[in-house]
Structure 1
Amino acid sequence: MTTTPTSPTDAALPPRAGRRCHNVLNSLHSTHYFSPDVTQEMAKLGISHPSAVNFAVRAAALGAVGAGVVTATFYNYKHALVAEHVPAVWQTASPEDVLAARLRAVDTTLRRLLGEELIASPEMAEAAELALRATEACSRSARPLYSAHADLPVPDAPHLAYWHAATLLREHRGDGHLTVLLGAELDGIEALVSHTATGKGLRPKWNFATRGWNQQEWDAATDRLRGRGLIDGEGELTEDGVALRRDIEAETDRLDRAPYEHLGAAGVERLTELGTVFTGAALQAGAYPADLFGKA
């Protein structure tokens, strides 16, 4: 399938165009973290604990690494939780077996959420081509999760190639985002607390369930942010807090601009349009828990 040629010399990208494109791609990529198909495939390998499943499927591209590497690259998980499952999980299943199981589960998940018509559509093939083109400009430097996933082969099926490209773009932005969080002097749980306070992050109960933190630790992090003038007495972001989160996203955009500049304005617009259709279908099919995001 042919698409409109694009290049870095196209018209300049509109503000936050790359972020919007990333968001719709990442929203489809991330459905597998909540998919029963992943749970079933991993159970066949003998991995059943939800945290072990999560750490294994995302870290497998790195190889049979230890807890320290996972904590460092995931950033906002409590190390004690990671150490409960890593590296022990690799004694149950090899990273290679986990990666194969993950891809099988993603195939099943996308077919269930999107339906065979969208899976086999020319638009899916077009989106895969555009997303893969964007990844050509990704950088490996200081981006361990992106770089590890970039070593994996591109699947043949267009919907899996699209998901693979979305994974690369997600991890590329994510690795850069961690650099920005370090520069802002936010540790893992402080990053979560401040993100949740924007109303766009996971609700505290989901952070406790998936990241390993507890209410006491959450409250202590909130107090530290309050001491920096970033959170007020009601747990809301202050003006300085709002400005910090805005600056974090803007700097993340800057570090992540290369793939979208490479794709060009027309390509980014088209990929965002196509990705919005796919993500919308997945959301309509109940891809995420209804109470996943929010402040309370």
Structure 2
Amino acid sequence: MTTSLPPRAGRRCHNALNPLHSTLYFSPDLDVEFKGLGFDDPSAMRLAARSAALGAVGPGTVAATFYNYNHELLARHLPSVWETAAPAAVLDARLRAADATLRRLLGEETVASAEMAEAAELALRATEACTRHARPLYAANADLPVPEEPHLRYWHAATLLREHRGDGHLAALLSLGLDPLEALVSHTATGRGMAPRWVLGSRGWRRADWDAAVERLRDRGLIDAEGELTDAGTALRAELEECTDRLDTAPYEHLGAVGVERLTELGRGFLFAAAAAGAFPDDLTGKA
């Protein structure tokens, strides 16, 4: 596929926008809003928050669309979470939590800035080229109304671009033969993925499951005896990201090189400010 963009420009833009969406899942504001709905389990809150756009789904749908969660964890909470609050109420609470989170992390001046409004419109313009077919999480979120306030428009657009890329990423994982936990283990081995304790705590896997996935990757020659990626493992992860890039080219091509560069610049500024304000745990990433 020919492209007018610099190499990996779309990926760099995604990497600036996606983490700001993800601040929600580490936010005390999400806990406040969801406890107000009657939730008391953090896993149930976060599963509901991300899956509510799909409707009152069960564990099978979420296992398919989230990919790397243990089905046992999902079945523990789904579909029973919808007895606590209907998806529409969850989506309203999610947006209120996103509003509070962005205001707390970025400050009122940034939230109301011309730069935020510009970033929102650039990100929304990129989403005009996203496609619904074979992209269930993107398609579900794309059916939601676009918020009016610029910072929430930006968060909504970042959500759409995140899920559009994520849906394509799952197709790439399947194509390259990485099962849910192998995908997580190999990502952690790059040094950029979640640390094992965060994976095990949030995805519902046991240490024995993790160790078994490590052994499968060793048998394939992708991880060495010290748990580091081999040359073959590094090459596979690179192929995975390049395949994901190809499946996610359209929104960034639509925005154009100048727009992508500007959106990346703005997104990085917001992300650095959020990180400096304590948006993410210090031990979230790493191999230990």
In the superposition, the TM-score normalised over structure 2's length comes to: 0.99
Q: Deviations over 1:33-76 (max 9, x none)?
A: 00000011000101121110111000000000111001110000
* In structure 1, distance between residues paired with 2:38 and 2:170: 32
Q: Where does residue 253 of structure 2 map in the other structure? A: 261
Structure 2 residue aligned with 1:5: none
> Where do 1:67-216 residues align within 5 Å?
67-216=59-208
Deviations along 1:217-264, one digit per CA (max 9) or x if unpaired, are: 100010001111101111111110000000000000000000000000
Partner amino acid for 1:261?
Answer: E
Q: Determine which of 32, 45, 52 is the counterpart of 2:37.
A: 45
1:241 aligns with 2:217: no
Amino acid at match of 2:97: A
Q: Provide the C-alpha distance between the structure 2 equivalents of 1:176 and 1:47, rounded to a whole number of angstroms.
A: 31
Aligned-partner Cα distance in 2 for 1:122–1:215: 47
Whichever residue aligns with residue 177 of structure 1, its letter is H
Q: Hey, what's the Cα distance between the residues in 2 that align with 1:178 and 1:282?
A: 28
Q: Write the mapping of 1:279-294 to structure 2, written as runs, cut at 5 A.
A: 279-294=271-286
Consecutive unaligned residues of structure 2, counting only runs of 5 or more, are none
Q: CA–CA distance in 2 between the matches of 1:139 and 1:60?
A: 20
Runs (4 or more) in structure 1 with deviation over 3 Å come to none
Q: CA deviation at 1:12?
A: 1.7
Q: What is the 5 A alignment of 1:30-69?
A: 30-69=22-61
Percent identity between the two aligned chains: 70
User: What is the distance in 2 between the residues matched to 1:47 and 1:181?
Assistant: 33
Measure the CA separation in 2 of the matches of 1:184 and 1:218. 19
Q: What letter matches 1:140 in structure 2?
A: R
Task: Provide Cα deviations, 1:128-186, integer angstroms capped at 9, x if missing partner.
Answer: 00000000000111000000000000000000000000000000000000000001111
The equivalent of 1:222 in structure 2 is 214
Q: TM-score, normalised by structure 1?
A: 0.96
Superposed CA deviations along residues 171-217 of structure 1, whole A, max 9, x for unmatched, are 00000000000011111001000000000000000001000111111
Partner of 1:15: 7
Q: How many aligned residue pairs are there?
A: 287
Q: Provide the alpha-carbon RMSD of the alignment.
A: 1.0
After superposition, the C-alpha distances for 1:95-129 in whole angstroms (9 at most, x for unaligned) are 00000000001000000000000000001000000
Q: What is the distance in 2 between the residues matched to 1:21 and 1:118?
A: 20
- Using the alignment, how far apart are the partners of 1:208 and 1:53 within structure 2? 17
